[in-house]
Amino acid sequence: MKEIWDQRYDTDEYVYGIKSNSFFAEQLNKLSPGSIILPCEGEGRNAVFAASTGWKVIAFDQSTSGKTKALKLADENKVAIDYRICDALDFSVAENSIDVVAFIYAHFPETTRKKVHENAMKWLKPGGKIIIEAFNKNQLKNSSGGPKDISLLYSEEMLREDFSLLKIELLQSFEIELQEGNLHKGNADVIRFVGKK
């Protein structure tokens, strides 16, 4: 998978754009800045937004070309982000140490997803939040991006089960018009989730 993402990001163009995901930005703006983890952060658009609004950002991804672009974007915006290269299952921070973990279009195989979500809940401080926007299972019919394997797409039941220890503040599935670079563009079926520890 690393090679696929390195190849995808190995271009001057930011394939998912340089502006943060709008749902992510909207949710973050409701909170007082603290510490945030952004798994699968790619080219850094969400990390740079978070840092520019006062958050202490740890981002990670498998892609070294994604990291290079993310650090360039951070530099251009005069912010600092801590960006690590690692597999989602290998990433770790202290338990009860993070205010927010945000999964923005982070799609995993089932066993990986369950473990990463379990880890994320442990990283959160009491009162901390998980924020998710991702493609739901109806996305298969669209050409606006996302995995073409239905097992990698989300459902409300899946998130209820994965985050049963959290208080669910928001869980919605609906159709939106995506405008996030050339690889997230057009009609999309997404799921949005906010849960509190």
pLDDT in tens, 145-162: 999 999 999 999 999 999
Which pLDDT score, from 0 to 100, does residue 171 have?
A: 98
pLDDT < 50 regions, the chain: none
End-to-end Cα distance, the chain: 31
* Residue 121 CB contacts under 8 Å (≥ 6 apart), including other chains: 130, 163, 165, 166, 197
> 3-class DSSP state for residue 68?
helix
The amino acid at residue 196 is K
Q: What pLDDT, on the 0 to 100 scale, is given for residue 123?
A: 98
pLDDT of residue 1: 74
CA-based angle 134:152:192, to the nearest 5?
20
Q: Which CATH superfamily is domain 2-184 in?
A: Vaccinia Virus protein VP39 (3.40.50.150)
In 47-165, which ranges are E strands?
56-61, 82-85, 98-104, 124-135
CA distance 165 to 161: 9
Helix axes 64-76 and 2-9, enclosed angle (nearest 10): 40
pTM of the model: 0.96
- pLDDT at residue number 136: 98
User: Which residue type sits at 110?
Assistant: E
Per-residue pLDDT, 22: 97
Q: Judge whether 50 and 101 are in contact, CB under 8 Å.
A: no
C-beta separation of 45 from 20 below 8 A: yes
Query: Which residues make beta-bridge pairs with 179?
Result: 185
Question: Tokens in use for 118?
Answer: 């379990």
Q: 47: closest CA among 71, 23, 11?
A: 71
- How many CB atoms sit inside 10 A of residue 182's CB? 11
